[in-house]
Amino acid sequence: MEKTVKLLAIESSCDETAAAVVKDGREILSNIIASQIDLHTLYGGVVPELASRKHTEKIDQVVTEALKEAGETLSSIDAVAVTYGPGLVGALLVGVGYAKALAWAAEKPLIGVNHIEGHIAANYIEHKDLTPPFLCLIISGGHTHLVHIPSYGEYRILGRSRDDAAGEAFDKVARSIGLGYPGGPKIEKAAREGNPEAIAFPRPRFDDAPYDFSFSGLKSAVLNYLNECGMKGLPFDQNDVAASFQAAVVDSLTERVMLALQETGEKKFAIAGGVASNGSIRNALKNLCEEQGVGFFSPSPILCTDNAAMIGAAGYIEFREGRFADLSLNGVPALKI
């Protein structure tokens, strides 16, 4: 039997300071998340400088707790994995700097992990039986990607957003209708009380790139609608706007996924990223997969939003391949998959 591999993983790319210990890329031994939501709520969105400072304040405590809860020490783990991009540069640097120091001091290998690959890998933790090939839709605050994964660590991008990410659209629309930050969960809640057919918001498509997404037009359509209501002196129904906006997002996503399933003939489909914790989106994609006879995989909501366990799962793929980083590892804000 192969030796078990335990990775200490660190995530600090945006507004969550997180550390985890993950066994063999699939099993969580600990998963500690210090959210900064309360801090950024005061400002209506993530303030990069404050995020970096908060990471610096919290990282030591979070890592210590993750090791303690897992019953591990720096000497008993096999490697240190850390998110090095994409994300806010100052925030990334806190995690990268800390991980480098730990790896050097403990004489352990260092692994640089792509945050988006981490989101995908959250599915390996939730579903022990999930193996490539499969299709994955990553919908987060910064990214909207439809990806084909033929084997571990290999990613073929079928489509991406040409402008705003899905989560960004949720956050901006939430702000414009007075729901505040963080927008995703608030829109979801308001949408439950609203009529998804009340307002016909656009569902843009590109003939030359049928898998590409666009959400900035949808956001503008919501703003135009609100302006029109304002000019006519009419009140708008917050719940109806939320429900109609969410319905347009659901349609845009399901249409591309349907096409990708048909064209690739893939029999497994997974979702990932913060927006994938949205119940309405999850249900629509699950139903679509059932209709198409395709296996549907989704991480539980806590593994959809930013966490370090997913970084440990993605780091394990690098570990198996022997892809290690050295102490020149740096934060790469626009890192691609």
Write out the residues near ligand KG4 by the rule CB under 6 A.
14, 140-142, 167, 170-171, 182-185, 188, 273-275, 277-278, 305-306
Q: Could you tell me which residues are beta bridge partners of residue 31?
A: 20
| Comparison of 86 and 159: residue with beta carbon closer to ligand KG4 | 86
* Distances in whole angstroms, Cα of residue 31 to Cα of each of 18, 182, 263, 303: 7, 22, 37, 10
Residues that bind Zn ion (CB under 5 A): 140, 306
| Comparison of 6 and 170: residue with beta carbon closer to ligand KG4 | 170
Binding partner at 217 among Zn ion, ligand KG4, none, C-beta below 5 to 8 Å by kind: none
Smallest separation (angstroms) from ligand KG4 to the CB of 13: 7
Smallest separation (angstroms) from ligand KG4 to the CB of 256: 17
| Comparison of 72 and 306: residue with beta carbon closer to Zn ion | 306
Nearest to 34 by CA among 8, 59, 67: 59
* Distances in whole angstroms, Cα of residue 37 to Cα of each of 8, 153, 183: 24, 31, 11
Binding partner at 305 among Zn ion, ligand KG4, none, C-beta below 5 to 8 Å by kind: ligand KG4
- Continuous segment of H or E residues that includes residue 248: helix 238-264
Q: Inter-axis angle of helices 238-264 and 216-232, to 10 degrees?
A: 160
Hey, what are 104's tokens? 């050097």
CB-based contact 315:95 (threshold 8 Å)? no
Binding partner at 133 among ligand KG4, Zn ion, none, C-beta below 5 to 8 Å by kind: none
| Comparison of 171 and 240: residue with beta carbon closer to ligand KG4 | 171
| Comparison of 296 and 324: residue with beta carbon closer to ligand KG4 | 296
Between CA 221 and CA 231, with CA 226 as vertex, the angle to 5 degrees is 120
Rounded CA-CA distance 22/9 in Å is 8
Smallest separation (angstroms) from ligand KG4 to the CB of 16: 7
Burial 10-42 (b: 16+ CB within 10 A, else e): bbbbbbbbbbbbbbbbbebbbbbbbbbeeebee
Binding partner at 86 among ligand KG4, Zn ion, none, C-beta below 5 to 8 Å by kind: none
What residue has token string 């994964």?
A: 149
Smallest separation (angstroms) from ligand KG4 to the CB of 273: 4
Smallest separation (angstroms) from Zn ion to the CB of 200: 31
Binding partner at 277 among Zn ion, ligand KG4, none, C-beta below 5 to 8 Å by kind: ligand KG4
| Comparison of 88 and 102: residue with beta carbon closer to ligand KG4 | 88
| Comparison of 159 and 183: residue with beta carbon closer to ligand KG4 | 183
| Comparison of 77 and 250: residue with beta carbon closer to ligand KG4 | 250
Smallest separation (angstroms) from ligand KG4 to the CB of 100: 22
Smallest separation (angstroms) from ligand KG4 to the CB of 73: 29
Binding partner at 188 among ligand KG4, Zn ion, none, C-beta below 5 to 8 Å by kind: ligand KG4
Nearest to 142 by CA among 19, 256, 275: 275
Rounded CA-CA distance 4/245 in Å is 46
What residue has token string 């997404």?
A: 213
Smallest separation (angstroms) from ligand KG4 to the CB of 138: 8
